[in-house]
Chains A and B, each alone.
Chain A
Amino acid sequence: GENVEQHPSTLSVQEGDSAVIKCTYSDSASNYFPWYKQELGKRPQLIIDIRSNVGEKKDQRIAVTLNKTAKHFSLHITETQPEDSAVYFCAASRETGANNLFFGTGTRLTVIP
């Protein structure tokens, strides 16, 4: 099965700095890579995703990059704000019918005002 590793487990940055979270996956057949944000006491919610036919995707201050050859993908948050403080999960999946979603272990991001 798929194995997703995520680093770092905790990350503290000053407000306005950038944050980068990295994930690797093992199954070369995985082709869908979403990122979820979980604020304290709330449910995880999708913030951005990328498919294996794309190398990079941006949405305002958030971007995700994918290197299929190396089997790794990363989340980049620029100009961080206190409301970016949360736990972030990467995931990998084969985007087929009965698609199982394999999650990384999460990164707790703290943005220091």
Chain B
Amino acid sequence: DVKVTQSSRYLVKRTGEKVFLECVQDMDHENMFWYRQDPGLGLRLIYFSYDVKMKEKGDIPEGYSVSREKKERFSLILESASTNQTSMYLCASTPFFRPGGTEAFFGQGTRLTVV
């Protein structure tokens, strides 16, 4: 019963390449997030979206962009990959407030290595 799916588990890309990370959720959630996870730094928010075609910058948006053309899909784009973008990327989704909870569901993560 996987609810949030990321397109790749592992990815190796070359410096300067354009990289697309895809995330799909099947829970009809309004909010979707992209986080970057690095040792000792926790989960840092890159971008989030609360509606189709809407996006908000998080704490570390530099070097990234996002696209949300459909409610269930949120894409993270590295315009020109650099070695300092080597990391684990996690997608998550939450509903707008509903009585009983606004639990975040995470994808399985994409470990991106830029060489």
Contact = CB atoms under 8 A, between A and B. Distances in A.
Interface string B90-103: 10101011000111
A101 interface: yes
Interface residues of A, number: 26
Contact of B43 (A45, A89, A100): A89
Interface residues of B, number: 28
B100 to A, nearest CB: 11
Name, among B30, B42, B56, B103, the residue most crowded by chain A CB atoms within 10 Å (CB to CB): B42
Interface string A89-101: 1010101111111
Interface stretch (A61-69, A74-82, A103-111): A103-111
A105 B2 CA distance: 26
Interface in B23-71: 30-31, 33, 35, 40-43, 45, 48, 50-51, 56, 58
Name, among A43, A102, A106, the residue most crowded by chain B CB atoms within 10 Å (CB to CB): A43
A57 to B, nearest CB: 12
B108 interface: yes
Contacts of B109: 43
Given A44-B90, A105-B40, A105-B41, A97 B96 contact: yes
15 contacts: A36-B104, A42-B108, A43-B90, A44-B104, A45-B106, A46-B104, A89-B42, A89-B43, A95-B97, A97-B50, A98-B30, A98-B51, A100-B33, A103-B35, A103-B45
Interface of B: 4, 30-31, 33, 35, 40-43, 45, 48, 50-51, 56, 58, 90, 92, 94, 96-97, 101-104, 106-109
Interface of A: 6, 9, 32, 34, 36, 42-46, 49, 89, 91, 93, 95-106
